[in-house]
Amino acid sequence: MPKYVFTFGAGKAEGSTGMKNLLGGKGANLAEMSILGIPVPPGFTISTEVCTSYFETDKNYPADLEVQLNKAVKATENIIGKRFGDPNDPLLFSVRSGARVSMPGMMDTVLNLGLNDESVRGLNRATGNERLGWDSYRRFIEMFANVVRGVNRSLFEHALQEIKDAKGVELDTDLDAGDMQKLVGKYKDIYRRELGEELPQNPKDQLWAAIGAVFSSWDTPRAVTYRKLNSIPNDWGTAVNIQAMVFGNMGEDSATGVAFTRDPATGAHSYFYGEFLVNAQGEDVVAGIRTPQQISLPGSREWAENNGTDEQARKTDYPSLEEIMPGIYPELEEIRKKLEEHYKDMQDVEFTIERGRLWMLQTRTGKRTASAAVKIALDMVKEGLITKEDAIMRVEPNRLDDLLHPVFDDEALRRVVTLAKGLPASPGAATGQIVFNADDAEAWAGEGKKVILVRRETSPEDIHGMNAAAGILTARGGMTSHAAVVARGMGKCCVAGCDDIVVNNADKSFSAAGKTFREGDWISLDGSTGKVLEGKVATREPELTGDFGEFMGWADEIRTLGVRTNADTPHDSQVAVGFGAEGIGLTRTEHMFFDPERILAMQEMILADDELGRQTALDKLLPFQREDFIGIFTAMDGLPVTIRTLDPPLHEFLPHTEDAQRELAVAAKIPVEKIKARVEQLNESNPMLGHRGCRLGIAYPEITAMQARAIFEAACECKKRGVDARPEVMIPLISGREELAHQKRVVIETAEKVFSEQGTRVDYLVGTMIELPRAALTADEVAEEADFFSFGTNDLTQTTFGLSRDDAGKFLPLYVEKGILPEDPFQVLDQTGVGLLVEMATQKGRRTKPDLKVGICGEHGGEPKSVKFCHRTGLNYVSCSPYRVPIARLAAAQAVIEENRGQS
Ligand code: PEP
Ligand code: MG
């Protein structure tokens, strides 16, 4: 019989960290902590295999599971010295999910399982603490009803509020044993009323129901959404962790908390970052119901400063754990060190103190912001914990995106009104219109609006809205609240626990600083300082220096693949050079024609009846193009600049509405009928496969000649100005050698003419894009004419799949959802099909010309998995949009490390 259940506790375990796939992250780490001698309440883990078989067998369990489970319960009973189901001094369990990777807030937990009407009294007697017993029982009923049986939690919250209101108190801790006992009665009534049956009293029945609920929660819509957003396969399944309960709510010498071994927002580690609540249980800290206190004294002081709490109030109302439990704090510090030394990464831990005794409930690699990820990786190398290569592998390239986006402009910040200040839960600068629930956030964002989601507190149900929002603002909750944790994971700006704002969900408004803000009003959030700002605040480009610069320097030392950028303007080129681009891999010249000053000349060229007419119009365009290229060459001084000749079908430049056609008729002094006729004539049923790319230059060589002239005149002019221009002329959409040969002749003839006119020469290359399967298939012939290849994988994907780039969006998501395609091939290169063409064309091309320069300039050039593929395939460079340049640099470095480690 396969082993389904794995025990841990008392310094031993049947599992270990290496068994994450089988035991889930939580289970594997509980086992590992146990082996490390860290105090962990004993228990056992039911493997993820059981979850998979549960769904495969119509929610049934493997035959031997019950026997194995009973054995594990016995083992736990033996360690703890109590029996599960004992009415006098019962062993109680916590039942939690635990997938391979942590899914914050996604899966459900049941605590205090094993309590019933009889054993609650036994617990009261055994602990001498009646309040604890009744409190634990009412929590159990609520969690069991909600998690296992789907009863709405608000019914219980309402009953709790009623009792607090009747007593005139605010906090749960103000309720005594009698109140809790009354609540148990009310909760049982709710259970009966909602479900038409009594709460199960048999602990074994409770346990099996909870196990089933954890497995079933793998399939809840919010878990499915989270997996989709994070590309977690549906068939991984979750494990179930069943662990002896320890109580953080046994009085003033008990507490529960969550902590990070380093600051998850900034990566700093001058003190222990964490929060706790005295006399509280389980989810109280993350639920944001009471304001949590800080673990360390420096952390507490910093919190007070951020929160505007003076030292006296801090000391009396929110003292640190270091101050109130001086015996426990060093023990916790010791564990922090031990965990980091062992796991060699920042850990996110949960702990409970039961009557002065510390228990660790879980440890896992902590989620962090991108800037914290970079800082932690750098610091750990400097501390000798990890190598530079480890550091490079630690940061997911796409996360760098968070660091590359604008920050608030200091000048603008000085002028703006600060409405409120909360906790800087996840950094970033967000500006948007306020909405008050997740559905509105999603709907508004769907209309292209930028929104800030404002909530009292968030819950896992809000995840789609948080994903859609530019930023998140909550009135309650600490640095480890759901909003904070999820926002950091998503790289979203978040200000949490902002109690300066009062949220009124009913009329969709909040008030702050004496003003009322309604749905649709603009606010801005500074996730690095926790400030809530009035209106739209201007932003500026971030500076990529300090830690980021050093980290990227390491990536550059390691990588061998070049990284260029796709840029059409001097400004974009400059931004890209700032991000580390080593040249331009694609300038799409057509974008330059849309400028109002130029479009008319372009339109005249298209409308011309003969070559002479076209030439006259092209002559008007020439100086504009030349200026563009001078600007770009100057920005890229000394770096290669690949310029593509005209690519899109001509109809894209002509107006299609009656009004616009009339306007053009007046401006160009041409009858409107003629424009209409030309539009009609240029109309194609399949423009993507029509008269575009090199086919234009072949029909109208004078267009290619004008562009080549502009390029070479600009390059000569630059040379005269002392600027080192390195043009690489690129012909698009060829299907074989002859098209390239034709266009190349035009380019070379023009170059020679310009050089003799200018009395100077510049070095240049003429190459081609490989965007059609036929070009890839005949790459050996094409290479005879080409100085370089650049894979236009947007078109190559379109033509290999026979999938229209412009229409695929309507049905491709369905393909991904149904698992027919693993990912959208326009975003992530299809290595099996399109990739094969890339590989083959590279090899064939280099057979003809061993030193053929090969790059990629489709969207895939900035997508980490595709970049790694390009490295493995031996390309010389990738080219991507400026903001993705650092992502590509990091992915290229990771590709080398993976190769060296035999992982690629
Ligand atoms: C491509 O096809 O991959 C490419 C870069 O060209 P465009 O996207 O302009 O068609
Ligand atoms: Mg293309």
Residue owning tokens 């693949």: 561
| Substitution site in 647, 735, 798 for ligand 1 pocket (most atoms within 8 Å of beta carbon) | 647
Give residue 809's pLDDT band: very low, low, confident or very high (50, 70, 90): confident
In this structure, what DSSP letter does residue 367 have? P
How, if at all, do strands 43-46 and 238-244 pair? Answer: antiparallel
Q: Both tokens of residue 599?
A: 């479009």
Q: Both tokens of residue 74?
A: 């016995």
Q: Both tokens of residue 185?
A: 């009665």
| Substitution site in 857, 870, 884 for ligand 1 pocket (most atoms within 8 Å of beta carbon) | 857
- pLDDT exceeds cutoff 60 at 576: yes
The least confident of 59-68, 801-810, 893-902 is 801-810
Decide: 267 in ligand 1 pocket, CB within 6 A: no
- pLDDT exceeds cutoff 80 at 119: yes
Q: What is the pLDDT of residues 600-657, one digit of tens each?
A: 999 999 999 899 999 999 999 999 999 999 999 999 999 999 999 999 999 889 888 8
Distance, CA 435 to ligand 1 centroid (Å)? Answer: 37
Q: Whose CA is nearest to atom 9 of ligand 1?
A: 588
Taking the CA of 734 as reference, the closest ligand is 2
Chain-centroid distance of CA 153 in Å reads 30
List 493, 716, 857, 880, catalytic entry: 857
Q: What is the pLDDT of residues 87-115, one digit of tens each?
A: 999 999 999 999 988 775 556 789 999 99
Give the pLDDT of residue 353: 96
Mean pLDDT of the 647-674 span: 90
Distance, CA 648 to ligand 1 centroid (Å)? Answer: 10
Decide: 590 in ligand 1 pocket, CB within 6 A: no
- Measured between alpha carbons, how far is residue 187 from residues 27, 146, 770 in Å? 31, 11, 68
Q: What is the pLDDT of residues 356-383, one digit of tens each?
A: 999 999 999 898 988 899 999 999 999 9
Q: Whose CA is nearest to atom 1 of ligand 1?
A: 792
Q: Whose CA is nearest to atom 10 of ligand 1?
A: 795
Taking the CA of 856 as reference, the closest ligand is 1
- pLDDT exceeds cutoff 90 at 517: yes
d(CA 216, CA 223): 10
Decide: 647 in ligand 1 pocket, CB within 6 A: yes
The atom number, within ligand 1, closest to the CA of 790 reads 5
Long-range contacts of 328-331 (CB under 8 A, 24+ apart): 328/353, 328/356, 328/358, 329/295, 329/296, 331/358
pTM (2 d.p.): 0.80
Distance, CA 394 to ligand 1 centroid (Å)? Answer: 32
Q: Both tokens of residue 682?
A: 């240029």
Q: Taking Cα atoms as reference points, which of 431, 386, 675, 628 lies closest to residue 535?
A: 431
DSSP E strands in 72-168: the ranges are 83-84, 90-91, 93-99, 109-113
Give the pLDDT of residue 542: 75
Give residue 226's pLDDT band: very low, low, confident or very high (50, 70, 90): confident
Decide: 306 in ligand 1 pocket, CB within 6 A: no
Decide: 588 in ligand 1 pocket, CB within 6 A: yes
d(CA 104, CA 458): 12
Distance, CA 651 to ligand 1 centroid (Å)? Answer: 18
In this structure, what DSSP letter does residue 183 have? H
Q: Whose CA is nearest to atom 4 of ligand 1?
A: 792
Decide: 568 in ligand 1 pocket, CB within 6 A: no
Give the pLDDT of residue 75: 97
Spatial contact of 834 and 797, defined as CB atoms under 8 Å apart:
yes
The atom number, within ligand 1, closest to the CA of 795 reads 2
Residue owning tokens 């929104």: 451
The atom number, within ligand 1, closest to the CA of 798 reads 2
Distance, CA 695 to ligand 1 centroid (Å)? Answer: 15
Known active-site residue 482: yes
Decide: 857 in ligand 1 pocket, CB within 6 A: yes
Give the pLDDT of residue 886: 95
| Substitution site in 688, 733, 769, 795 for ligand 1 pocket (most atoms within 8 Å of beta carbon) | 795
Distance, CA 125 to ligand 2 centroid (Å)? Answer: 77
Decide: 792 in ligand 1 pocket, CB within 6 A: yes
Planar angle of CA 807, 808, 812, nearest 5 degrees? 150
In this structure, what DSSP letter does residue 397 have? G
Contacts of 623 (CB under 8 A, 6+ apart): none
| Substitution site in 794, 877, 881 for ligand 1 pocket (most atoms within 8 Å of beta carbon) | 794
Mean pLDDT of the 273-287 span: 80
d(CA 225, CA 154): 23
Spatial contact of 453 and 429, defined as CB atoms under 8 Å apart:
no
Distance, CA 745 to ligand 1 centroid (Å)? Answer: 23
Residue 408: beta bridge partners? 539
Spatial contact of 126 and 247, defined as CB atoms under 8 Å apart:
no
Q: Taking Cα atoms as reference points, which of 87, 148, 155, 156 lies closest to residue 117?
A: 87
What backbone torsions phi and psi does residue 729 show, to the nearest 5 degrees?
-85, 130
Spatial contact of 642 and 589, defined as CB atoms under 8 Å apart:
no
Spatial contact of 685 and 667, defined as CB atoms under 8 Å apart:
no
Instruction: Write the DSSP string, 440-477.
Output: HHHHHHHTT--EEEEESS--GGGHHHHHH-SEEEESS-
Distance, CA 468 to ligand 1 centroid (Å)? Answer: 28
d(CA 786, CA 752): 18
d(CA 281, CA 244): 14
Half-sphere exposure (Cβ direction) of 161: Cα atoms closer than 13 Å: 7
d(CA 633, CA 430): 34
d(CA 105, CA 484): 11
- pLDDT exceeds cutoff 80 at 682: yes
Spatial contact of 710 and 619, defined as CB atoms under 8 Å apart:
no
Q: Taking Cα atoms as reference points, which of 277, 259, 273, 267 lies closest to residue 324?
A: 277
Q: Whose CA is nearest to atom 8 of ligand 1?
A: 794
List 482, 651, 860, 871, catalytic entry: 482
Give the pLDDT of residue 161: 92
d(CA 561, CA 580): 13
- pLDDT exceeds cutoff 70 at 572: yes
Distance, CA 834 to ligand 1 centroid (Å)? Answer: 14
Residue owning tokens 């007697």: 125
DSSP E strands in 57-92: the ranges are 83-84, 90-91
Q: Taking Cα atoms as reference points, which of 871, 805, 858, 872 lies closest to residue 828?
A: 858
Give the pLDDT of residue 171: 81
Task: State the chain's mean pLDDT as an integer.
Answer: 92
What backbone torsions phi and psi does residue 890 show, to the nearest 5 degrees?
-70, -45
Decide: 858 in ligand 1 pocket, CB within 6 A: yes
Decide: 290 in ligand 1 pocket, CB within 6 A: no
In 761-830, which ranges are continuous DSSP H helix? 773-777, 779-785, 793-801, 812-817
Spatial contact of 767 and 790, defined as CB atoms under 8 Å apart:
yes
Instruction: Write the DSSP string, 553-619.
Output: HHHHHH--SEEEEE-SSHHHHHHHHHTT--SEEEEEGGGGGGSHHHHHHHHHHHH-SSHHHHHHHHH
Decide: 794 in ligand 1 pocket, CB within 6 A: yes
Give residue 283's pLDDT band: very low, low, confident or very high (50, 70, 90): low
Taking the CA of 794 as reference, the closest ligand is 1
Distance, CA 203 to ligand 2 centroid (Å)? Answer: 65
Decide: 793 in ligand 1 pocket, CB within 6 A: yes
Q: Whose CA is nearest to atom 3 of ligand 1?
A: 792
Decide: 798 in ligand 1 pocket, CB within 6 A: no
Distance, CA 769 to ligand 1 centroid (Å)? Answer: 9
Q: Taking Cα atoms as reference points, which of 211, 3, 196 lies closest to residue 107?
A: 211
Decide: 795 in ligand 1 pocket, CB within 6 A: yes
Give the pLDDT of residue 287: 60
Spatial contact of 856 and 872, defined as CB atoms under 8 Å apart:
no
Q: What is the pLDDT of residues 176-221, one digit of tens each?
A: 999 999 999 999 999 999 999 999 999 999 999 999 999 988 888 8
Q: Both tokens of residue 416?
A: 């703006």
Spatial contact of 491 and 401, defined as CB atoms under 8 Å apart:
yes
Q: Taking Cα atoms as reference points, which of 224, 246, 211, 209 lies closest to residue 47?
A: 211
Q: Both tokens of residue 650?
A: 């001509």
Q: Whose CA is nearest to atom 6 of ligand 1?
A: 792
The atom number, within ligand 1, closest to the CA of 858 reads 3
The atom number, within ligand 1, closest to the CA of 859 reads 3
Residue owning tokens 């049956």: 197
- Measured between alpha carbons, how far is residue 418 from residues 456, 504, 513, 524, 531 in Å? 19, 20, 8, 9, 7
Known active-site residue 691: no
Spatial contact of 887 and 570, defined as CB atoms under 8 Å apart:
no
The atom number, within ligand 1, closest to the CA of 733 reads 2
Give residue 172's pLDDT band: very low, low, confident or very high (50, 70, 90): confident
Distance, CA 622 to ligand 2 centroid (Å)? Answer: 23
Decide: 291 in ligand 1 pocket, CB within 6 A: no
The atom number, within ligand 1, closest to the CA of 586 reads 5
Spatial contact of 744 and 731, defined as CB atoms under 8 Å apart:
yes
In the structure, how many helices (H) and strands (E) does the chain have? 37, 34
- Kind and range of the H or E run holding 69: helix 65-80
Instruction: Write the DSSP string, 618-672.
Output: HHHHHHHHHHHHHHHHHHTTTSEEEEEPP-S-GGGGS--SHHHHHHHHHHHT--H
Give residue 37's pLDDT band: very low, low, confident or very high (50, 70, 90): very high
First-last CA distance in the chain: 35
How, if at all, do strands 43-46 and 5-9 pair? Answer: antiparallel
Give the pLDDT of residue 105: 52
Contacts of 445 (CB under 8 A, 6+ apart): 451, 468, 469
The least confident of 286-290, 400-404, 441-445 is 286-290
d(CA 511, CA 288): 20
Spatial contact of 525 and 419, defined as CB atoms under 8 Å apart:
no
For ion ligand 2, residues whose CB falls within 5 Å: 771, 792, 795
| Substitution site in 564, 568, 588, 870 for ligand 1 pocket (most atoms within 8 Å of beta carbon) | 588
DSSP E strands in 715-832: the ranges are 726-731, 765-770, 788-791
Give the pLDDT of residue 288: 59
- Walk across the sheet containing 418-421 and list its strands: 418-421, 531-534, 522-526, 429-435, 451-455, 471-474, 493-496, 423-426
d(CA 403, CA 406): 8
Distance, CA 799 to ligand 2 centroid (Å)? Answer: 10
Decide: 585 in ligand 1 pocket, CB within 6 A: no
